[in-house]
Structure 1
Amino acid sequence: MTFAAIQFPQIDPIIFSVGPVALRWYGLMYLIGFIFAMVYANKAADKSNGVWSRDQVSDLLFYGFLGVIVGGRVGYVLFYNFDYFLSDPLYLFKIWTGGMSFHGGLLGVLTAILLFARKEKKSFLQVGDFVAPLVPFGLGAGRVGNFINAELWGRETDVSWAMVFPSDPLGLARHPSQLYEFFLEGVVLFFMVYFVNKHTKATGVAGGTFLAGYGAFRFIVEFFREPDAHLGFIFSFISMGQILSLPMVIGGLALIIWGLNQHSNETSNKQTKGAH
């Protein structure tokens, strides 16, 4: 039986253009993710009994947007192209050449959350729990954008759903790892965080679930994703993405345990006071 890979569908990355201005599917995916975050956050604020306001949501999203852009670019340059940066420091500002890192974007968002929390006199973990359900949808949309752009494809395989991407100079049948990430980091992770956020009042658990969940899913998908050509594997079969994801799993699990213990202690103290 002859193995026949699926040919990547012919998708123009540009939806339409007017003169030099073009609307790309990749940009549209991120716009959809941002709109979802705004709608979801505003609804959550409306149900918060005054803990959150729509004005605070607008400020938080603005802080978060800057964190994603600045952190994502700086992270990509430092984690994945540091040697190039040393030879050309201005490369950091050449955003039009492409290159963003999720892990760098995460650090940028965490910094934004810290600054916002101080400004609004909220706890860092409280803001983190509020932000956690807003992120997976945008991640999933971004992975769809990667798929449409035929970039960040997977390793060679002979599974029945293997695809040949036009951007692959070798023309190999590969895992459509962008779609794996869309499903795990976007769909599954969203429902995990949503469920936790809805069924526990323990501070830090929703944020910890996001960190541990994303880190675990990214670590798994990296086994199917082609490593960056200029980096390859860092240790044996371990990629840079896995190295950066492992601390997220450890930190997320630690935060979940800490949050549940804190909530349990607070509940026990309240019950003890009530008994007196």
Structure 2
Amino acid sequence: MMIFPVYIWLGSLRIHPHILFESLAYAIAFRLLIFRLRKDAIAPSQRSSVIVGGMIGALIGAKLLVGLEHINFILQNQQQFLLLLLQGKTVVGALLGGLIGVELTKKIIGIHQSTGDVFVYPLIVGTAIGRIGCFLTGLSDRTYGIATQLPWSIDFGDGILRHPTQLYEILFLGLLIIFLQFRSRYHYQNGDLFKFYLISYFSFRFLVDFIKPDFHPFWGLSAIQVACLLTIVYYRHTISQIFQFKT
């Protein structure tokens, strides 16, 4: 039986799993991004500006959406809400904020071509590694699922068997990489890879968040689900094009 959080020991040093795997996620994703930028057609100075714009947008988006996700704590426990706002973040908010930050930066410096494809694999790998830390952290990470009696349910420490939604996401991201590798045999337009990743991941998050014990004030949906749904609707005109294999 696992006891959460599952601390990682490096010699005599005990490291919290969230800190360890989040650090690994950033480091590995950044190294993978640098590797993929070797084939980038955009000038290094412009790419640096795009990355900085995306990082600023991601930080703002992650905090803004996590605040909306836990807005019910404003009336119940303002101190807990401020703590969640300070410490918490959400991948969906970071992706949306990063996307907006990149697009605003591109508009300012005059880039008209798509710049998102190089980020896809670093984002997938980084998210999957980060979710390992979320899983090993347990209840305090607030990424677990609702109660279930399925054979693979996990007791994160409160005596309730729950959906290990963190593991579901890792599995989904692994399958997504395999599919994208298969699809790379076909020709696609610049920017399609990022759009497909965004639509696929947001569709998964929209569905899996139904089995998370989140606050669902918006017609039975959480703030994250609303953000996912709006993004999918925004890109609806590209979905059919993305799924067409062009040889």
Verify the 8 A CA contact 2:37 2:118 in the aligned structure 1: no
Which among 113, 123, 134 is matched to residue 102 of structure 2? 113
Verify the 8 A CA contact 2:65 2:90 in the aligned structure 1: yes
* 1:235 match: 219
What is the identity, as a one-letter code, of the residue corresponding to 1:134?
A: P
Give the count of matched residue pairs: 241
How many angstroms apart in 2 are the aligned matches of 1:260 and 1:232? 31
Verify the 8 A CA contact 1:212 1:250 in the aligned structure 2: no
Q: Secondary structure at the match of 1:149?
A: helix
* 2:192 match: 205
- Is 1:40 the counterpart of 2:32? The answer is yes
The 1:158–1:18 alpha-carbon spacing in structure 2 relative to 1, beyond 3 Å, is: closer
The 1:249–1:111 alpha-carbon spacing in structure 2 relative to 1, beyond 3 Å, is: closer
Which among 33, 44, 56 is matched to residue 66 of structure 1? 56
* 2:70 match: 80
- Is 1:138 the counterpart of 2:132? The answer is no
Deviation at 1:215, TM superposition (A): 1.6
Q: Secondary structure at the match of 2:170?
A: helix
Which structure 1 segments of 5+ residues have no match?
Answer: 1-6, 265-276
How many angstroms apart in 1 are the aligned matches of 2:3 and 2:44? 41
Greater relative contact order (Cα < 8 A, sep 6+)? 2
Verify the 8 A CA contact 2:196 2:242 in the aligned structure 1: no
Give deviations 1:11-70, integer Å, cap 9, x for gaps: 444657999xx853213322222233322222222234xx14556555544433333222
TM (normalized to structure 1)? 0.70
- With 22-31 and 69-78 compared, the bigger mean Cα shift is at 22-31
The 1:180–1:148 alpha-carbon spacing in structure 2 relative to 1, beyond 3 Å, is: same
Q: CA RMSD in A?
A: 3.7
Which among 140, 149, 155 is matched to residue 164 of structure 1? 155
The 1:121–1:192 alpha-carbon spacing in structure 2 relative to 1, beyond 3 Å, is: farther
The 1:96–1:75 alpha-carbon spacing in structure 2 relative to 1, beyond 3 Å, is: closer
Verify the 8 A CA contact 1:73 1:95 in the aligned structure 2: no
Aligned identity (percent) is: 22
Larger radius of gyration: 1
* 1:215 match: 202
What is the identity, as a one-letter code, of the residue corresponding to 1:31?
A: S
Deviation at 1:164, TM superposition (A): 0.9
* 1:254 match: 237
Deviation at 1:73, TM superposition (A): 0.8
The 1:234–1:57 alpha-carbon spacing in structure 2 relative to 1, beyond 3 Å, is: same
Which among 209, 227, 235 is matched to residue 244 of structure 1? 227
The 1:78–1:96 alpha-carbon spacing in structure 2 relative to 1, beyond 3 Å, is: closer
